[in-house]
Amino acid sequence: MIRITTFCLSLFVLFSFEHAFSQEVNVSGYVRDATGKEKLIGAHIINVKTKKGVITDHNGYFALNAKLNDSLRISYAGYKSPVLEVNENSQSIFVDLQMDGNLKEVKVMGVRDVFQPMTQLKSKDFTNIPTIGAAPDVLKAVQLFPGITAQNEGSSQLIVRGGSPGENLYMIDNIPLIYVNHLGGFYSVFNPDMINSMEIYKDGFPARYGGKLSSIISLSQYEGNAEEFKGNFSIGPMATSLMVEGPALNKKATYMLSARKTMIDGLMALGTTLSEGNDFTFAYGFHDFNGKFTYNLNDKHTLSANFYQGDDYLNLWAESASTIPNTVGKSRLQTVWGNWLGALQWKYKPNARLVGENSLSVVRYRLKNNSFYFEDEDNKEPTFDNRFQSSLMDNRLQSDWKYFNSNSLTTHFGAQVSYKTHQPNNTNAQNILTENQIIPVLEGALYFDEHIDFWENSSLKVGGRFNYYQNDRYSDFDFVQRGQLAVGISSNQWLLARFTAANQYAHLLYTTGDIGANEIWIPADEEAPASRSTQYSLGYKANFQQSNWQMESAIYYKELNKLTTYKEGVAAVLGDSNWKNKITSGGKGESMGWETMLKKSKGRWTGFASYTLSKTEYQFPEINNGNAYVFEYDRPHIFNVNLSTKMNDKWDFSANWTYQTGLPFTPAVGLRNSPDPFNPEIERETLIYGERNSGRMRDFHRLDLGFNYHKLTKRGNRATWTFSIYNAYSRQNPYFNYYHVDGNTDFSLGQLDYSDEPLKLYQRSFFPFLPSFSYKVYFDKGIFKRSSKEERANRPKSNVWYHKE
């Protein structure tokens, strides 16, 4: 690796001299939407003469060298493609693209395709994916790609190449977010109205990303419309949302605000209260608040502030027996969990070649579980009062820089420092603090990436990350290396080789199937050291028919070491002061597989098909007698098909079909007599379980359908009705298996049935045929004013107007 780094530095000097002796202009700037001045991420800038080009980054920024009088073509899907002539004033420019509502087929011959190492999704890519509740979900769209699947049916928890849910790094505008799900994983916290684009890395992580083993999910938010006030309002069976955006400070600044709230809280409480025979009231809900303010001081300095707050809350009120005559006791259970995020960012472009992004952020995740009991319903003070809390706070300072030395060499470097406070367990019983362990840790990193283009269509990217971690007497210093070689075998085909190493300094203890989250983060220490992963992959990627079709395929091998999880038979540690005795470390994992995907991105019908063949095994000294076992979320075969089309100017249609091998489970292999825990003098038959995860549930498959109907309201506002059908042919897919008495409807998961009937294996299924709908209306500054017939007649008829690229 030292030789590779020396080679890169030598090329750096070589290309520097090349630039010094050539008559070139460094063209740099931003590509924006001409109407709202939104930055366009992933726009192509191609030199018509040399057929070489670049792609705008997550800030809409680009830089490339060109000679005087060269022509640059700027293109972005759904927009006109202007051609700019390079001159002395092209060193710092803003390119504003006009939307094209009457796009026709344009054939561009001989233009070199620009290779991207990651999977990138734009907003329109995840708004057309049918989901439960007919509401777009960015993480549901990600699950359709090869190598990525959900933890369980309907879940937004991601399993990437055999890694656990806690091994994925989620970033919003380069700020890490700790908790990313609602409703136990069924919805993600990312409001799609705020998301501009998303990048997904399964391997080949850029060196600027660290701290997680399996994947990087980086989301970029819109900055807000710089020309006029706009927004939208949507309502559906699960949640209602509102988003507004517009200019401020004489159009030198923009803002974007959104809020989302469930509608079912009160209905659930009312329904359970009025149900005959119920002596309890139950309610669940969640909310999200997002805000972004951006101030452009000049063409060199941009300041922005981000805010996010989201919570889930579950409440149960119940009547219970009381020791006081003629009184009824009352009990209440309350669980609240969610995130706070606040960040300040400063983007600085001192010259055309160097651009930096500096940020100061605070992110806090906390889980609270409170229980109260009132002996007399008239008492104001509880007889019993227990409060448990677990939290993690991340205070982070980071500075990230990119230097465009030439068209062939780019250097990415920076530094990060993070001060975190872990609180695995705060227990307060009857106002007496019995456990409150706060663990401060320090993390730091220095990193660099060298991206070198060579030959006609090939590139080499090598990088390194120096990690430092300190937790009391436990410390870790390591240098992890990343590398990627892309060899162009033609103008639009590549062979790929990647190596990725990563460390993770926090372990997630996760309770599956628990709507109350129960996610606890514990820091690495002597007993649970930092986890590590190494991954190798070989792949092929190609674009065909003027990029109408794309294909990618890869094989990979990943090793995981020093993993930490619950001991066998333990499901939770919240509220337990001896939680360290319930975890086990020293685990290792091995995952390997083959992934392939074929995508059609243009034409009347678009979509893709993806297939994953994989195998993942874990091994812990204290689990399964020390023998290797199949990973809990291992699915050897996954096949996804997605299709969408514009039926006419008003109707869109989309469909997804997925097939997956059934999840593993631990089967029973026999029966034995055991003392009844409630009456030791009586023996009952209990189950003897075999090898961990040695059985398989039934295979999983499902068809989802979606329709969008676009119209104009009487006031002339754009509106969309979304209709979705989840599990269109009502497949009874297993959510979990369990043993129970034949014909007994009294189901209690996790408890033995003490009848004399034999136990049998059953499956529990959720989510049958499930139709839903939502309504969304778009408005501008004329929302309160009824449009004239002439204004309504002049509204665009093409479906382009309802997509925000």
Q: Under CATH, what is the fold of the domain 2-112?
A: Immunoglobulin-like (2.60.40)
Which of residues 135 and 173 earns the better pLDDT score? 173
Distance in angstroms (rounded) separating the CA atoms of residues 542 and 562: 37
Place of tokens 């549930």: 697
The predicted pLDDT at position 256 comes to: 94
Distance in angstroms (rounded) separating the CA atoms of residues 563 and 262: 36
The predicted pLDDT at position 574 comes to: 66
Q: What is the mean pLDDT of residues 737-745?
A: 67
Closest among 605, 618, 581, 712 to 653, alpha carbons compared: 605
The predicted pLDDT at position 801 comes to: 38
Q: What percent of the chain has pLDDT over 70?
A: 82
Distance in angstroms (rounded) separating the CA atoms of residues 307 and 259: 12
Q: What is the mean pLDDT of residues 604-615?
A: 93
Which of residues 386 and 379 earns the better pLDDT score? 386
The predicted pLDDT at position 31 comes to: 87
Q: How confident is the model at residue 386 (pLDDT cuts 50, 70, 90)?
A: confident
The predicted pLDDT at position 153 comes to: 79
Which of residues 741 and 258 earns the better pLDDT score? 258
Q: What is the pLDDT of residues 754-763, one digit of tens each?
A: 455 667 788 8
Q: How confident is the model at residue 113 (pLDDT cuts 50, 70, 90)?
A: very low
Among 1-15, 199-213, 261-275, 729-743, top mean pLDDT goes to 199-213
CA angle 675, 676, 679 (to 5 degrees): 110
Q: What is the pLDDT of residues 264-286, one digit of tens each?
A: 776 666 666 655 555 677 788 89
Lowest mean pLDDT among 307-321, 342-356, 357-371: 307-321
Q: What is the mean pLDDT of residues 635-647?
A: 93
User: Is pLDDT of 776 > 70?
Assistant: yes
User: Is pLDDT of 508 > 50?
Assistant: yes
Average pLDDT over the chain, rounded to whole? 82
For CATH 2.40.170.20, list the domain ranges present in the chain: 122-662+698-732+768-789
Q: How far is CA 645 from CA 145, 338, 605, 756, in A?
A: 19, 37, 5, 57
Place of tokens 């030439």: 406
Distance in angstroms (rounded) separating the CA atoms of residues 694 and 628: 11
Q: Kindly report the pTM of this predicted structure.
A: 0.85
Dihedral pair phi/psi, residue 613, rounded to 5°: -115, 120
Q: Give one DSSP letter per residue of 640-666, joined into a string.
A: EEEEEEE-SSSEEEEEEEEEEPPPEE-
User: Is pLDDT of 181 > 90?
Assistant: no
Closest among 361, 416, 428, 358 to 390, alpha carbons compared: 428
Which of residues 656 and 744 earns the better pLDDT score? 656
Q: What is the CATH number of domain 122-662+698-732+768-789?
A: 2.40.170.20
Q: How confident is the model at residue 379 (pLDDT cuts 50, 70, 90)?
A: low
Place of tokens 């979990």: 736
The predicted pLDDT at position 110 comes to: 37
Q: How confident is the model at residue 512 (pLDDT cuts 50, 70, 90)?
A: low
Distance in angstroms (rounded) separating the CA atoms of residues 624 and 142: 33
User: Is pLDDT of 746 > 60?
Assistant: no
Q: What percent of the chain has pLDDT over 90?
A: 41
For CATH 2.60.40.1120, list the domain ranges present in the chain: 2-112
Lowest mean pLDDT among 76-85, 230-239, 502-511, 515-524: 515-524
User: Is pLDDT of 716 > 80?
Assistant: yes
Which of residues 91 and 475 earns the better pLDDT score? 475
Instruction: Give per-residue burial for 372-390: e unless 16+ CB within 10 Å, then b.
Output: bbbbeeeeeebbebbbbbb
User: Is pLDDT of 690 > 60?
Assistant: yes
Q: How confident is the model at residue 115 (pLDDT cuts 50, 70, 90)?
A: low
